[in-house]
Amino acid sequence: MQESLFPILRTTVYDRPLIYLDNAATTQKPQSVIDVLNSYYTSLNSNIHRGTHYLATAATERFEEVRRKVCAFINAADRGEVVFTRGTTESINLVASSFGERFIGEGDEVIVSAMEHHSDMVPWQMVCGRKGAKVKYIPFSDEGVLDLDAYKKLFTERTRIVAVNHVSNTLGTVNPVEEIIKIAHSHDVPVLIDGAQSVAHIAVDVQALDCDFYCFSGHKMYAPMGVGVMYGKRRWLEEMPPYQGGGEMIKDVTLEGTTYNELPFKFEAGTPSVGDVLGLGAAIDFMLSVGVETIGRHEMELHDYAVERMRDIEGMRFIGTAPHKAAVISFLIGDAHPYDVGTLLDKLGVAVRTGHHCTQPIMDRYGIPGTVRASFAVYNTRADVDAFINALNRIAPMLS
Ligand code: PLP
């Protein structure tokens, strides 16, 4: 499905066809996204929002058109709630820093799951460290399922915000974010969802979820690197101070002080990566042309097929076996170091990720140094899975 639209997939590595299974790290880009980047720099490049000339006006229109597209894609209530950033990491840092500045004080508490990517853990540790507040963690089971009973018990009158990923990049768990949000809201506590691993696989409706913040990266959903989104409910964004100072985020500057721009520009200081934002628009068009649910279903078929075949390999051990999963498979073979498995797979043309996947606390939880991770995207095929399994079968005897 769709593989011919992605030129990089015609690449050979070590004289073998590339089998790209590192999609949770970043997805490859369809020709339509590459074309938009090319045409932007060939015929449209200009700084936006503050120009009167033709190119500046045209680039601004295209940029704001993508904001409308993102708004519809995640069903935000209004465009002012869609802030462009560099990616999930910057989006979460923005919220942690700005929400933290306004709403987190000494003795307050923040609830974060123990299966977060470092991007959704370290910013909270940092702001809590600055403010004299405390981070409390939601534990998870051996299968990789969050313990909701323990979660409910973490709330006190000092809880200020909850931050949880929609899909774990290491365990593949799809977390019950609807329930997590409902529980937090029953305590009047807002929730940030790290959507880095979900937007490319699950149709997201931020109003139906009723989340307060939703953060994601373009590059994990077929768009260029360098662009991401921080969705936030207007009521919070209005009250939060700007994250960075600079051009674009101001209404008026005098030597005495500054008044800030309206939403979303208050949070968009400096020149954004305009071409990458336009690429994000093309990536959304691509995803909608296939259908987000179709993409997710296709990936899960490959996931289920791969897991079934992997079970036959001696010493195979899966890390993350939650009943509700996305198409991410973390595994180990016997006592082999994940790095060795990844290196041998690479020599056979199969690209997977190895290591702690920026989730060291998950590795500590299982007492392992890391995992090997295979993750699927729209363009992967059953033939890719077969090649992956054949490669595993070839290397498994070398590892024991
Ligand atoms: N959160 C999760 C769950 C992720 O998987 C990742 C990246 O792998 C991030 C956050 C950080 O995303 P980025 O590096 O694009 O900012």
Which pLDDT belongs to residue 96?
Answer: 98
Residue 287 CA, ligand 1 centroid: distance in Å: 19
Return residue ranges of the chain for CATH 3.90.1150.10: 292-399
How many Cβ atoms from other residues are within 10 Å of residue 124's Cβ? 24
pLDDT of residue 3 exceeding 90, the answer is: no
What digits encode the pLDDT tens for the residues 178-191?
999 999 999 999 99
- Side chain identity, residue 318: F
Q: What is the helix, strand, coil percentage profile of the chain, to 5? A: 45, 20, 35
Can you tell me the distance from the alpha carbon of 118 to that of 168, in angstroms, rounded to the nearest whole number?
Answer: 11
Can you tell me the distance from the alpha carbon of 289 to that of 322, in angstroms, rounded to the nearest whole number?
Answer: 30
Between 247 and 400, the higher pLDDT residue: 247
Can you tell me the distance from the alpha carbon of 310 to that of 388, in angstroms, rounded to the nearest whole number?
Answer: 10
Binding site membership of 217 for ligand 1 (Cβ less than 6 Å):
yes
Residue 19, SS3 per DSSP:
strand
CA atoms within 13 A on the CB side of 303: 29
Residue with the smallest CA separation from ligand 1 atom 14 is 89
Binding site membership of 197 for ligand 1 (Cβ less than 6 Å):
yes
Which pLDDT belongs to residue 69?
Answer: 98
What digits encode the pLDDT tens for the residues 314-353?
999 999 999 999 999 999 999 999 999 999 999 999 999 9
128 is catalytic: no
Residue 221 CA, ligand 1 centroid: distance in Å: 12
What digits encode the pLDDT tens for the residues 130-145?
999 999 999 999 999 9
Binding site membership of 211 for ligand 1 (Cβ less than 6 Å):
no
Query: What Cα–Cα distance (Å) separates residue 25 from each residue in 209, 220, 281, 359, 373?
Result: 25, 7, 20, 13, 10
Residue 168 CA, ligand 1 centroid: distance in Å: 10
Binding site membership of 23 for ligand 1 (Cβ less than 6 Å):
no
Residue 351, SS3 per DSSP:
strand
Q: What kind of fold does domain 33-288 have according to CATH?
A: Aspartate Aminotransferase; domain 2 (3.40.640)
- Side chain identity, residue 150: A
pLDDT of residue 2 exceeding 80, the answer is: no
Binding site membership of 330 for ligand 1 (Cβ less than 6 Å):
no
Confidence of residue 101 (pLDDT cuts 50, 70, 90): very high
Average pLDDT over residues 71-91: 98
Can you tell me the distance from the alpha carbon of 36 to that of 25, in angstroms, rounded to the nearest whole number?
Answer: 22
Is 112 within 8 Å of 121 (Cβ atoms)?
A: yes
Which pLDDT belongs to residue 1?
Answer: 56
Which pLDDT belongs to residue 51?
Answer: 81
What digits encode the pLDDT tens for the residues 273-282?
999 999 999 9
Which pLDDT belongs to residue 399?
Answer: 87
Binding site membership of 380 for ligand 1 (Cβ less than 6 Å):
no
Can you tell me the distance from the alpha carbon of 252 to that of 249, in angstroms, rounded to the nearest whole number?
Answer: 9
**How high does pLDDT run on average in the chain?**
97
CA 46 from centre of chain: 28
pLDDT of residue 14 exceeding 80, the answer is: yes
Beta strands at 316-318 and 328-333: parallel, antiparallel or unpaired:
antiparallel
Q: Which residues contact 275 (CB under 8 A, 6 or more apart)?
A: 36, 37, 40, 41, 45, 224
Binding site membership of 196 for ligand 1 (Cβ less than 6 Å):
yes
Identify which of 160, 178, 265 has the alpha carbon closest to the alpha carbon of residue 214.
178
Residue 322 CA, ligand 1 centroid: distance in Å: 20
Identify which of 328, 337, 345, 340 has the alpha carbon closest to the alpha carbon of residue 389.
345
Return residue ranges of the chain for CATH 3.40.640.10: 33-288
Residue 357 CA, ligand 1 centroid: distance in Å: 9
Residue 222 CA, ligand 1 centroid: distance in Å: 14
Task: Write the DSSP symbol of residue 146.
Answer: B
Would you state the CATH architecture of domain 292-399? Alpha-Beta Complex (3.90)
Can you tell me the distance from the alpha carbon of 37 to that of 342, in angstroms, rounded to the nearest whole number?
Answer: 32
Active-site residue among 71, 211, 215, 358? 358
Binding site membership of 113 for ligand 1 (Cβ less than 6 Å):
no
Identify which of 25, 43, 33, 39 has the alpha carbon closest to the alpha carbon of residue 7.
33
Average pLDDT over residues 108-121: 98
Which pLDDT belongs to residue 4?
Answer: 85
* Pocket residue to mutate for ligand 1, from 88, 94, 229, most atoms within 8 A of Cβ: 88
